[in-house]
């Protein structure tokens, strides 16, 4: 291979959150999760790969900084799974499996700030490597998952269901598309960037602490998520916005309740996040039904869901209450063409 392959992958926003692993090494989740993948021309990772006998050693650059691969188990795992696929496809002794790989990746939005950068990053890495070696197969979500769990959902566009599975080796822990990006074109997402600095507790550390200490986590995993997952998939298929929006808010709130039930607690939301939550509920109450919903990942930044018809009125009120010095809003115009596209 003497060409550079460059791909882009978008972030995905979970409406049913993945929180807690049953296997730390294979990154197998305790519960199912559901997400919506954004448009590739909005928040995305862009990754270039070059490989060949002339590349001296494996290197990864992220946002202009060299990443220490030797101490990064997840990067190493993605590389070795791709090499395993190369051998399966091209023969045990094929030269490509011995080549070193140089990777250069950039996010066009803040990294590690609770804006799903690792989902886009690992989906993009795996997809680009697979393209570079002509290996695009249905195994890609499983490989991306072992970089960052939520990355398996960014391999697909539209609405995606990551099934937790039961198997100890993870053969049934996989992402499937519920509906394509064309399914619900009226859906809009607004991202309110409350704080774009690095989060204090990474998702990996936070969810490990929750598994070890939260008494509520098992209740969520066994009693709440299965029914919610079924209901939100139904709401997505039927384009029932009120149901979709309510489940999304309840699940975000429950996820952050688990974070607070973790000991010592993981506090991801801040005062502005709580003001946004109050504002959304007041807005919906005044409207007489749910017109807009929120969800927060492991950070203070809000992802809002709203239908196109309600957008202009809502934005005019939002901007008055949260002028740009308080929160920077990014208005995402659509969720179209969200597969990681080769560029
Ligand atoms: O994939 P990770 O390890 O970055 O974990 C993601 C966890 C949440 O963003 C909080 C929830 C989710 O399902 O994306």
What pLDDT digit, counting tens, does each position of 306-319 carry? 999 999 999 999 98
CA distance 234 to 232: 5
Give, in order, the Cα–Cα distances in Å from 301 to each of 33, 115, 159, 212, 326.
19, 7, 21, 26, 12
Query: If DSSP codes are grouped into helix, strand and coil, which group holds residue 12?
Result: strand
Q: Tokens for 173?
A: 């822990």
Q: How far is the CA of 14 from the centre of ligand 1 (A)?
A: 8
Nearest one of 174, 171, 170 to 160, comparing CA atoms: 174
Instruction: Count Cβ neighbours within 10 Å for each residue of 282-296 and write b for 16 or more, e otherwise.
Output: ebbeeeeebbbbbbb
Ligand 1 pocket member 33 (CB < 6 A):
yes
Ligand 1 pocket test, pick from 10, 11, 17 with the greatest ligand atom count within 8 Å of Cβ, gives: 17
Ligand 1 pocket member 147 (CB < 6 A):
no
Ligand 1 pocket test, pick from 145, 206, 297 with the greatest ligand atom count within 8 Å of Cβ, gives: 297
Ligand 1 pocket member 148 (CB < 6 A):
yes
User: Which residue has the least CA distance to atom 10 on ligand 1?
Assistant: 297
Q: How far is the CA of 311 from the centre of ligand 1 (A)?
A: 27
Q: What share of the chain is helix, strand, coil (3-state, %, to 5)?
A: 40, 25, 35
Q: How far is the CA of 41 from the centre of ligand 1 (A)?
A: 21
CA distance 21 to 211: 8
Choose the weakest-confidence range: 117-126, 206-215, 227-236, 246-255.
117-126
What average pLDDT does the segment 133-158 reach?
Answer: 93
Q: Which residue has the tokens 């009693």?
A: 223
Query: If DSSP codes are grouped into helix, strand and coil, which group holds residue 265?
Result: coil
CB 104 within 8 A of CB 61: yes
Nearest one of 145, 184, 114 to 21, comparing CA atoms: 145
pLDDT of 76 strictly over 50: yes
Q: How far is the CA of 17 from the centre of ligand 1 (A)?
A: 7
Question: What is the pLDDT, as a whole number, of residue 326?
Answer: 46
What average pLDDT does the segment 227-240 reach?
Answer: 98
CA distance 232 to 34: 8
Which ligand 1 atom sits closest to the C-alpha of 17? Answer: 13
Q: How far is the CA of 115 from the centre of ligand 1 (A)?
A: 9
To the nearest 10 degrees (0 to 180), the angle between helices 271-287 and 308-321 is 130
First to last CA, the chain: 18
Ligand 1 pocket member 6 (CB < 6 A):
no
* 23, β-bridge pairs: 28
For residues 218 and 336, the model is more confident at 218
Per-residue pLDDT of 238-271, as tens digits, reads: 999 999 999 999 999 999 999 999 999 999 999 9
Nearest one of 52, 140, 132, 133 to 89, comparing CA atoms: 133
CB 128 within 8 A of CB 139: no
What average pLDDT does the segment 183-187 reach?
Answer: 96
Give phi and psi for 296, each to the nearest 5: -130, 130
Ligand 1 pocket member 146 (CB < 6 A):
no
Ligand 1 pocket member 298 (CB < 6 A):
yes
Ligand 1 pocket member 154 (CB < 6 A):
no
Question: What is the pLDDT, as a whole number, of residue 335?
Answer: 39
Q: Tokens for 59?
A: 């290197």
CB 282 within 8 A of CB 238: no
Q: How far is the CA of 215 from the centre of ligand 1 (A)?
A: 20
ipTM score assigned to the predicted complex: 0.99
Ligand 1 pocket member 203 (CB < 6 A):
yes
Name the H helices within the chain.
73-90, 117-132, 140-145, 151-154, 203-213, 216-219, 225-237, 241-261, 271-287, 308-321
Half-sphere exposure of 146 toward its Cβ, with a 13 Å CA cutoff?
A: 20
Ligand 1 pocket member 240 (CB < 6 A):
no
């Amino acid at each position: 291979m003497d060409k550079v392959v460059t791909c882009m992958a978008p972030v995905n926003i979970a409406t049913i959150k993945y929180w807690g692993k049953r296997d730390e090494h294979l990154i197998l989740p305790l519960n199912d999760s559901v997400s919506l993948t954004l448009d590739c021309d909005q928040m995305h990772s862009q990754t270039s790969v070059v490989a060949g006998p002339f590349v001296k050693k494996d290197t990864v650059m992220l946002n202009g900084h060299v990443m220490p691969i030797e101490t990064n188990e997840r990067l190493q795992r993605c590389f070795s799974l791709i090499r395993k696929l190369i051998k399966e496809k091209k023969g045990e002794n094929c030269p490509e499996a011995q080549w070193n790989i140089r990777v250069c990746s950039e996010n066009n939005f803040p990294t590690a700030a609770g804006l799903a950068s690792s989902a886009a990053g690992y989906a993009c890495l795996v997809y680009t490597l697979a393209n570079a070696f002509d290996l695009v197969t249905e195994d890609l979500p499983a490989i991306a998952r072992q970089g960052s769990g939520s990355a398996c959902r960014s391999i697909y566009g539209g609405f995606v269901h990551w099934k937790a599975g039961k198997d100890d080796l993870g053969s049934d822990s996989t992402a499937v598309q519920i509906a394509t990006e064309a399914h619900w074109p009226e859906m809009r997402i607004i991202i309110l960037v409350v704080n774009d600095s690095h989060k204090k507790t990474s998702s990996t550390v936070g969810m490990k602490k929750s598994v070890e200490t939260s008494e509520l986590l098992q209740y969520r995993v066994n009693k709440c998520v299965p029914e919610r997952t079924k209901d939100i998939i139904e709401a997505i298929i039927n384009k029932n916005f009120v149901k979709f929006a309510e489940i999304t808010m309840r699940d975000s709130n429950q996820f952050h309740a688990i974070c607070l039930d973790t000991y010592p607690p993981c506090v991801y939301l801040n005062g502005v996040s709580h003001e946004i939550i109050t504002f959304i509920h007041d807005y919906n109450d005044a409207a007489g039904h749910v017109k807009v919903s929120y969800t927060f990942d492991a950070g203070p930044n809000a992802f809002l869901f709203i239908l196109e018809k309600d957008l202009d009125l809502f934005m005019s009120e939002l901007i008055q209450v949260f002028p740009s010095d308080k929160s920077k809003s990014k208005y995402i115009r659509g969720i179209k063409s969200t597969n990681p596209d080769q560029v």
